[in-house]
């Protein structure tokens, strides 16, 4: 909470987490022609202002006059200046830029202090690091002023963190770090040195969108609060609402401009966005044959499908900017070079929606497809995408192609946010009470000795009003169970997009008009579709590319002689450019290679296509490698002897004696018990057995090796290992 002490004098305003210091500076009055000394901001939230060069106009948005503040607003002296024209260092707190391209990251990179700048994507960190190149320092032309810390990038070589820290030729240490690599960097720096760095989290709003895919993103905020209050800031051009109270209480610095950015936007509403996108590309190329086109569509498969539907002469001029995991998988994969679009017609997915600068003009086409909810974009995101163009004259044109789903309708976002927060807090309270409950009720099967937080977290995934299911709680960097605030923010964003912005054809135009943009709206009903043969061609090409990539990986693994060498190789391949499916393949390989011989394991893993298949495979392997004396294995063998013929009801009754009696888990029905039983034994074909004089469907137990593995396990799991943790019921 803000401090109750408030100081408001001629030279200082200090209230809660806000602080402004004034100095006297000469100011020329254009009306009178006089020069007089007036108070001008010298420091704003511990940031040095260039007060001898600019007169910084500001206003305080009071929560309660003279006592508490909502935000400090300041107006840029000119619309085209950058933050480093106003500040020497970055203010602490939550900085709402409200416009792309005003140089918040550049300001901190050039500030006279040590800095850690966390960015959400490797492309953004890499681009900023390239821009920090220090030519000719100590005869080393390839030295970088800012060190990139993240996944490997081919042909981009940087020193180690330790080497960079000890390089005395670089006075101020600047780190550009990808969120996933932040723990590695902070471990090298040491917590005792946090006070020596300013910690900036760039593009903070993207964390709310991406946290459900990358849970470790929220760990960044845990680290953020470990830095002194005056040594940290969060930055974005489009910052929405937070549900984390600690973030809500950060001081807000709101950047304003004399002239608002009004965009001229053509909106096309259609029932088939990919058909309309194809038509729009062809029309734009015909009308402007010398101009480039950038298509923003957060669907790699959708981008590839549209490209394959174009005439062959146009397909050769297409490229896709997407995650490096798709290199070698997507035929049209490309990367930005020297801030220019790589192709005449360039598609990009969300990896490039923030932080990437394009210095040439282009026609922008943004695509929202309600059949693919991950492609839905807020008006803030639409602004960010348009802001990728950094040419002084701006875009040639901006078109948004979108569809809607009228079955969704909901307006009370505060209600849904409150509901999700309450659900998350209920789970947190339960998790924190669990040890005491177990202590007070030691004989209850509801409170197990082998309970682990990971099981609870994975079981909290929930869907609200057609939004994607998210996990409501997480473990923070201290191992505590806490609400997953970014996932909760994501639910609110998704509900707004699905049930408000894209539930009616007029909602998007109305909101953009309310934001001051100039709108032209067209409506299309498509009478044709992209042929299934084209869609199938793309699926086939991707599948073949994944297989070729996997074969190369398997060959590399086969060359290694030990389990340890294979694990190291597999982890290196995961960190490099690897498709998501092959990443899962390698993770599964690492998990099982200590139990199953190499060739047998590769054969079995190649047969797994779905999460359900993997879950069953996991249970079967874990049972197979248990020591014979393990209580679960002993009980199963006793209940299900080889060659015994059992009817369906007998299977359920006997398995429940183990599942409910031995493991203290809720009873199963025949429908839920039978798939589990088949994970632990091989059954005969269905036959019949008389039960109470009536024939019933029955099966015979053939073996305890349902995978048909013709080998012995390379390793065994101890009989003392808890069953629940092992088999993942």
pLDDT tens digits along 428-447: 998 888 777 777 777 665 55
Return the CA Rg of the chain: 30
Distance of CA 48 to the CA centre of its chain: 34
pLDDT in tens, 29-59: 666 767 667 677 888 999 999 887 888 888 8
Give the model's confidence band at 724: pLDDT under 50 very low, under 70 low, under 90 confident, else very high: low
Are 205 and 380 contacting, i.e. CB atoms less than 8 angstroms apart?
Answer: yes
Query: In the chain, what percentage of residues exceed pLDDT 70?
Result: 89
How far is it, in rounded angstroms, from Cα 501 to Cα 397? 23
Query: What average pLDDT does this structure show over 240-265?
Result: 90
Q: Report helix, strand and coil shares of the chain as percent, to nearest 5.
A: 40, 20, 40
Number of H helices and number of E strands within the chain?
24, 32
Give the model's confidence band at 651: pLDDT under 50 very low, under 70 low, under 90 confident, else very high: confident
Query: What average pLDDT does this structure show over 667-686?
Result: 88
Minimum mean pLDDT range among 73-77, 232-236, 510-514: 73-77
Minimum mean pLDDT range among 139-153, 327-341, 445-459, 684-698: 445-459
How far is it, in rounded angstroms, from Cα 261 to Cα 512? 12
Residue 54: its pLDDT value, please? 83
Residue 109: its pLDDT value, please? 92
Query: What average pLDDT does this structure show over 665-684?
Result: 87
Distance of CA 574 to the CA centre of its chain: 17
**Residue 389 DSSP code:** B
Are 662 and 642 contacting, i.e. CB atoms less than 8 angstroms apart?
Answer: no
Minimum mean pLDDT range among 368-377, 446-455, 523-532, 622-631: 446-455
Residue 261: its pLDDT value, please? 81
Residue 360 has pLDDT above 90, yes or no: yes
How far is it, in rounded angstroms, from Cα 726 to Cα 203? 39
Number of neighbours of residue 410 by Cβ within 10 angstroms: 16
Residue 136: its pLDDT value, please? 40
* Cross-strand bridge partners of residue 149: 177
pLDDT in tens, 161-178: 999 999 888 889 999 998
Sequence-distant (6+) residues with CB within 8 A of 561 are none
How far is it, in rounded angstroms, from Cα 187 to Cα 183? 6
pLDDT in tens, 449-460: 555 566 677 777
How far is it, in rounded angstroms, from Cα 390 to Cα 629? 68
Provide the token pair at 486: 């970014």
* Cross-strand bridge partners of residue 461: 471
Q: What is the pTM of this model?
A: 0.78
Give the model's confidence band at 714: pLDDT under 50 very low, under 70 low, under 90 confident, else very high: very high
- State the burial class of residue 302 (Cβ atoms within 10 Å of its Cβ: 0-12, 13-18, 19+): buried
Provide the token pair at 98: 């409200």
Residue 560: its pLDDT value, please? 92
How far is it, in rounded angstroms, from Cα 628 to Cα 619? 16
- Helix locations, 447-531, DSSP H: 453-458, 485-496, 507-514
How far is it, in rounded angstroms, from Cα 326 to Cα 347? 14
**Cα Dmax for the chain:** 112
CA atoms within 13 A on the CB side of 409: 4
Residue 137: its pLDDT value, please? 45
Scanning the structure block, which residue is given the tokens 């990443």? 583
pLDDT in tens, 361-402: 999 999 999 988 889 999 989 998 999 998 989 999 999 999
Are 41 and 22 contacting, i.e. CB atoms less than 8 angstroms apart?
Answer: yes
Find the helix or strand (DSSP H, E) in which 38 lies: strand 35-44
How far is it, in rounded angstroms, from Cα 479 to Cα 580? 27
Q: What is the mean pLDDT of the chain?
A: 86
Query: What average pLDDT does this structure show over 503-510?
Result: 94
**Residue 399 DSSP code:** E
**Residue 707 DSSP code:** T
More confident position, 447 or 493: 493
Sign of the C-alpha dihedral computed for residues 438, 443, 446 and 449 taken in this order: positive
User: 3-class SS at 351?
Assistant: helix
Residue 100 has pLDDT above 90, yes or no: no
CA atoms within 13 A on the CB side of 354: 23
- E-strand ranges in 271-362 read 293-296, 318-321, 333-334, 345-348
Give the model's confidence band at 16: pLDDT under 50 very low, under 70 low, under 90 confident, else very high: confident
Provide the token pair at 600: 């047998």
Minimum mean pLDDT range among 103-107, 355-359, 399-403, 557-561: 355-359
More confident position, 156 or 15: 15
Q: Which has the closest alpha carbon to 576: 259, 109, 35, 155?
A: 155
How far is it, in rounded angstroms, from Cα 124 to Cα 579? 20
* Cross-strand bridge partners of residue 652: none
User: 3-class SS at 186?
Assistant: helix
Residue 143 has pLDDT above 80, yes or no: no
Residue 135: its pLDDT value, please? 45
* Cross-strand bridge partners of residue 15: 6, 18
Residue 635 has pLDDT above 50, yes or no: yes
Residue 67: its pLDDT value, please? 86
């Amino acid at each position: 909470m803000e401090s109750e002490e408030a100081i408001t004098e001629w030279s200082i305003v200090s209230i809660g987490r806000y602080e402004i210091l004034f100095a006297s500076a000469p100011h020329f009055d254009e009306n009178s022609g006089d020069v007089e000394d007036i108070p001008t901001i010298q420091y704003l939230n511990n940031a040095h202002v260039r007060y001898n060069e600019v007169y910084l106009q500001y206003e305080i948005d009071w929560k309660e006059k003279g006592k508490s503040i909502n935000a400090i607003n300041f107006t840029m002296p000119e619309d085209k200046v950058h933050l480093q024209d106003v500040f020497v260092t970055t203010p602490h707190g939550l900085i709402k830029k409200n416009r792309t391209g005003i140089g918040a990251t550049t300001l901190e990179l050039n500030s006279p202090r040590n800095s850690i700048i966390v960015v959400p994507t490797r492309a953004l960190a890499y681009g900023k690091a390239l821009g920090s190149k220090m030519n000719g320092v100590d005869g080393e032309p390839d030295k970088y002023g800012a060190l990139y810390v993240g996944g490997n990038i081919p042909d981009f070589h940087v020193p180690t963190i330790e080497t960079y820290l000890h390089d005395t030729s670089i006075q101020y240490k600047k780190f550009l770090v990808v969120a996933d690599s932040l723990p590695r960097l902070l471990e090298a720096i040491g917590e005792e040195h946090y006070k020596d760095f300013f910690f900036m989290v760039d593009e903070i709003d993207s964390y709310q969108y991406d946290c459900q895919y990358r849970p470790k993103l929220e760990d960044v905020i845990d680290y953020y609060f470990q830095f002194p209050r005056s040594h940290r800031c969060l930055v974005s051009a489009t910052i929405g609402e937070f549900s984390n109270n600690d973030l809500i209480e950060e001081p807000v610095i709101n950047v304003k401009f004399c002239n608002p950015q009004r965009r001229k936007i053509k909106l096309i509403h259609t029932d088939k966005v990919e058909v309309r996108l194809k038509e729009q590309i062809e029309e734009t190329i015909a009308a402007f044959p010398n101009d480039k086109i950038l298509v923003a569509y957060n669907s790699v498969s959708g981008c590839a499908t549209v490209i394959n539907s174009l005439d062959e002469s146009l397909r050769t001029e297409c490229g896709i900017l997407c995650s490096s995991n798709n290199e070698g998988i997507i035929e049209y994969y490309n990367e930005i070079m020297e801030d220019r679009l790589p192709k005449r017609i360039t598609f990009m997915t969300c990896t490039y929606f923030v932080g990437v600068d394009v210095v040439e003009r282009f026609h922008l086409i943004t695509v929202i497809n309600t059949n693919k909810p991950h492609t839905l974009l807020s008006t803030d995101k639409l602004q960010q995408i348009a802001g990728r163009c950094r040419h002084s004259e701006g875009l040639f044109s901006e078109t948004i192609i979108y569809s809607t789903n009228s079955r969704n309708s909901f307006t009370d976002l505060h209600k849904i946010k409150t509901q999700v927060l309450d659900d998350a807090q209920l789970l947190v309270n339960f998790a924190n009470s669990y040890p005491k409950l177990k202590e007070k009720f030691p004989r209850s099967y509801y409170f197990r000795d082998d309970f682990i937080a990971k099981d609870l977290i994975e079981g909290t995934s929930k869907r609200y009003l057609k939004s994607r299911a998210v996990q409501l709680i997480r473990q923070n960097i201290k191992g505590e169970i806490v609400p997953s605030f970014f996932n909760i923010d994501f639910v609110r964003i998704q509900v707004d997009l699905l049930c408000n912005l894209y539930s009616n054809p007029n909602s998007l135009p109305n909101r953009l008009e309310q934001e001051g943009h100039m709108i032209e709206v067209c409506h299309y009903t498509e009478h044709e579709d992209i042929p299934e043969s084209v869609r199938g061609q793309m699926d086939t090409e991707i599948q073949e590319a994944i297989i070729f990539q996997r074969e190369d990986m398997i060959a590399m693994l086969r060359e290694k002689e030990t389990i340890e060498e294979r694990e190291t190789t597999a982890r290196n391949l995961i960190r490099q450019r690897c498709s998501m499916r092959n990443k899962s393949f390698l993770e599964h390989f690492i998990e099982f290679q200590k139990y199953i011989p190499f060739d047998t394991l590769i054969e079995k893993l190649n047969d797994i296509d779905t999460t359900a298949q993997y879950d069953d495979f996991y249970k079967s392997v874990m049972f197979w490698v248990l020591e014979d004396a393990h209580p679960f294995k002993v009980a199963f063998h006793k209940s299900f002897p080889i060659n015994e013929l059992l009817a369906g009801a007998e299977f359920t009754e006997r398995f429940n004696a183990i599942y409910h009696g031995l493991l203290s888990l809720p009873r199963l029905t025949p429908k839920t018990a039978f798939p589990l039983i088949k994970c632990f034994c091989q059954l005969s074909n269905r036959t019949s057995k008389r039960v109470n004089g009536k024939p019933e469907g029955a099966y015979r137990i053939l073996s305890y090796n349902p995978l048909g593995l013709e080998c012995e396990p390379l390793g065994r799991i101890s009989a003392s290992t808890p069953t629940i943790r092992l088999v993942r019921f």
